[in-house]
Structure 1
Amino acid sequence: MTVLFANNSADEIKEQFINEFPTTEFIFNEDMYSVGESLAEVSVLVGYGSTIKADLLEKMPKLKWIMMLSAGVDQLPLEYITEKGIIVTNARGVYKVPMAEYVISVLLQVYKQEKKLIEYENGKVWADPPAIREISGRTMVVVGAGAIGQEVARLAKAFNMTTYGVSRSGRALEYFDEMAEIGQIDEYLPKADFVVSVLPGTKETTGIFQYEQFKLMKEEAVFVNIGRGNSVNSEALLKAIQEKEITHAVLDVFEQEPLPSDHPFWTEENITITPHLSAKSPRNAARTYAILTENLKKFIEGDTDFINIVDTKKGY
């Protein structure tokens, strides 16, 4: 059996897998196009969706399983993968801790006026910035109540927040006071002090946040997007900020990345931009490879009851 790591794997990762699975052949090559004829022997592919193309998969007739090193799978050729019956697993849950911490940190940044404080410090100004507030006791709506959304809600509970979750099924989940289906989102937006989008990139979620949705929110609402950039109509969000329909937006993901330097988001005082880093953590690799190790053991034993199987038809 051959396993292809199509990513820049650290030497300790390579040694770990070679030592733990001595009868398995491993190929470590970030550039799949240079692997050559060995692609025909690959049973397991480990990598990121941005590098996995249908033309490469066609050269892997023995491929049975793709292990994504990310949570999102929207960049994969899902129709081809579904047609061929290839199993896909992802790193769902790996990034929940850093992403939930990011949400709390940016909400505190907005409410504690940290942008203004840094400006004062740089200018050696001794003054209180206006409107310093507490995030405690507020109401949060989390749109996309998966592993990350649940962790966001768990941390929000430490600040005594009321938490509403929105998901495809609307089924009850821990740390949420109430759950709703995605079609009910407009009923919950007016309740929120904080709206946090953790939506995956699917056809159903594309453009779900239009001007009408921002207009439904409180004027003092803060919107945070750590899911997918295409879930938000950028022009609608810009208009909502400029017309003070909401007070602030924190954006870590965008329709186009990197965000162009001439994009109007950069110059809006009430928009905070970060470069798609909410999931960053030095602990992610260990979490991800623990999932891969467990699944690979199962695969070798003929068991495909994997951790984090993705429904390739739904895209998550």
Structure 2
Amino acid sequence: MFLLILSSARLRDDIKDGLKNTFPNEEFHFYKNMKEAKAYLNQAEILLSYGEDLTDELVAESKELQWIMVISAGLDRMPFKALEKQDILITNARGIHKTPMAEYTISMMLQVSRKASLLLKNQKQHTWNRKVPITEISGKTLGILGTGAIGCEIARLAKAFNMKTIGFNRSGHSAENCDVIVDREGISTLYGESDFIVNVLPSTPHTYRFVGKNAFSLMKQNAVFINIGRGKTVDEEELITALQAEKIGHAVLDVFEKEPLKEESPLWDMKNVTVTPHLSGISPQYQERAIEIFCDNLTLYRNDKRKEMINIIPYDRGY
């Protein structure tokens, strides 16, 4: 018997054709958004979604739904209580962002250290200045808040520059390519010793404004803070205060508490801030990588091997 698989995620035509060719015995319904897909939601057994279009009401209507594949890593908009009530399996595309986000992090560390923005400004002004205070990242210390797939990939690339890596996670368990691991009790060590601190924390009740006044007070005066996790994990007002007082050296911000960042935000014009519009995870290989995970899991699902599926999300944890 075929499975009715519904997609409310806008997928490329070649991806859709590939799915139909790989699984010819399944019935796929592809739509651009949930508004279009909603008509089939009460019949679908599997839903492909970006994880931003489900509500408690829609879940209640999904009488046949058994599994949701979220083709992104972020799950902060998922109605977990409603999904748990109906015992709907949730998987996501955790891990697919590690390559672009790690490259973004290393590139930003280099840009700040080598004063790329000032060099470009000098070029536009035809200014020949060999006294630009550039520095190296080699041999420096990198603190990583969140040692999942992305954090560990950042640590791996940092090793090419002979950097010391300090990772943070809640349990204090070891993580690949991290020289030292700290939990919440030891996090002051990470803040105090790191020349660069990258935040990759997910958005959960435990991480709301996790990086705040105390964290910034512990950082080195020349520390570079990079946020590619979630905007809500950082106290934005305290960050602005720390930057204005030059308590830290620089902030590279790809995510914000409210997006898009308001035009009147002081962050836009601060000389010690680099703003990018939530693009660190963007890659032309994004959908291929997400769908590869889905295909592997669909094969397991079809063979009643649900416990072997990867990236299963616990309701209570939410990531």
* TM-score range for the pair, normalised by the shorter chain length: over 0.9
Does the aligned pair in 2 maintain the 1:192–1:217 contact within 8 Å?
Answer: yes
**Match in the other structure for 1:70:** 72
- Listed as ranges, the matches of 1:118-197 within 5 Å are 118-197=120-199
Distance 1:66 1:27 in 2: 14
Q: Tell me the CA shift for residue 37 of structure 1.
A: 4.4
Distance 2:5 2:188 in 1: 46
Distance 1:97 1:108 in 2: 17
Q: Tell me the CA shift for residue 33 of structure 1.
A: 3.0
**Match in the other structure for 2:255:** 253
**Match in the other structure for 1:264:** 266
Percentage of identical aligned residues: 41
Does the aligned pair in 2 maintain the 1:33–1:56 contact within 8 Å?
Answer: no
Distance 1:196 1:221 in 2: 11
State the number of aligned residues.
Answer: 316
Write the letter of the residue equivalent to 2:315. Answer: T
Q: Tell me the CA shift for residue 36 of structure 1.
A: 5.0
Displaced runs of 4 or more, over 2 A: 30-38
Which of 15, 29, 32 is residue 31 of structure 2 equivalent to?
29
Question: Structure 1: which 5+ residue stretches go unaligned?
Answer: none
**Match in the other structure for 1:51:** 53
Write the letter of the residue equivalent to 1:315. Answer: G
Aligned residue for 1:40, secondary structure, equals: coil
Distance 1:9 1:307 in 2: 21
Write the letter of the residue equivalent to 2:292. Answer: A
Q: Tell me the CA shift for residue 95 of structure 1.
A: 0.6
Does the aligned pair in 1 maintain the 2:155–2:177 contact within 8 Å?
Answer: yes
1:297 aligns with 2:299: yes
**Match in the other structure for 2:86:** 84
Q: Tell me the CA shift for residue 255 of structure 1.
A: 0.2
**Superposed CA RMSD:** 1.1
Distance 1:157 1:192 in 2: 15
Q: Tell me the CA shift for residue 129 of structure 1.
A: 4.9
Does the aligned pair in 2 maintain the 1:82–1:313 contact within 8 Å?
Answer: no
Does the aligned pair in 1 maintain the 2:52–2:77 contact within 8 Å?
Answer: yes
Superposed CA deviations along residues 96-115 of structure 1, whole A, max 9, x for unmatched, are: 01000000000101000011
Distance 1:43 1:279 in 2: 29
Does the aligned pair in 2 maintain the 1:116–1:129 contact within 8 Å?
Answer: no
Does the aligned pair in 1 maintain the 2:11–2:287 contact within 8 Å?
Answer: no
Q: Tell me the CA shift for residue 75 of structure 1.
A: 1.0
Distance 1:110 1:44 in 2: 45
**Match in the other structure for 1:199:** 201
**Match in the other structure for 2:16:** 14
Of 43-52 and 91-100, more deviation after overlay is shown by: 43-52
Superposed CA deviations along residues 24-43 of structure 1, whole A, max 9, x for unmatched, are: 11110123233354222111
Aligned residue for 1:223, secondary structure, equals: strand
Aligned residue for 2:52, secondary structure, equals: helix
1:314 aligns with 2:309: no
Of 266-275 and 15-24, more deviation after overlay is shown by: 15-24
**Match in the other structure for 2:231:** 229
Distance 1:57 1:30 in 2: 19
Write the letter of the residue equivalent to 1:86. Answer: I
Q: Tell me the CA shift for residue 212 of structure 1.
A: 1.5
Write the letter of the residue equivalent to 2:150. Answer: I
Distance 1:32 1:40 in 2: 13
Question: Structure 2: which 5+ residue stretches go unaligned?
Answer: none
CA 285–313 in structure 1, closer or farther in 2 if over 3 Å, else same? same
Aligned residue for 1:308, secondary structure, equals: coil
CA 76–121 in structure 1, closer or farther in 2 if over 3 Å, else same? same
Distance 2:42 2:234 in 1: 40
Aligned residue for 2:278, secondary structure, equals: coil
**Match in the other structure for 2:99:** 97
Distance 1:58 1:68 in 2: 18
Does the aligned pair in 2 maintain the 1:43–1:62 contact within 8 Å?
Answer: yes
Distance 1:35 1:286 in 2: 22
Superposed CA deviations along residues 180-211 of structure 1, whole A, max 9, x for unmatched, are: 11343223210110111000010000111112
Of 92-101 and 19-28, more deviation after overlay is shown by: 19-28
CA 152–36 in structure 1, closer or farther in 2 if over 3 Å, else same? closer
Write the letter of the residue equivalent to 1:227. Answer: G
CA 68–36 in structure 1, closer or farther in 2 if over 3 Å, else same? closer
Write the letter of the residue equivalent to 1:33. Answer: K
Q: Tell me the CA shift for residue 226 of structure 1.
A: 0.3
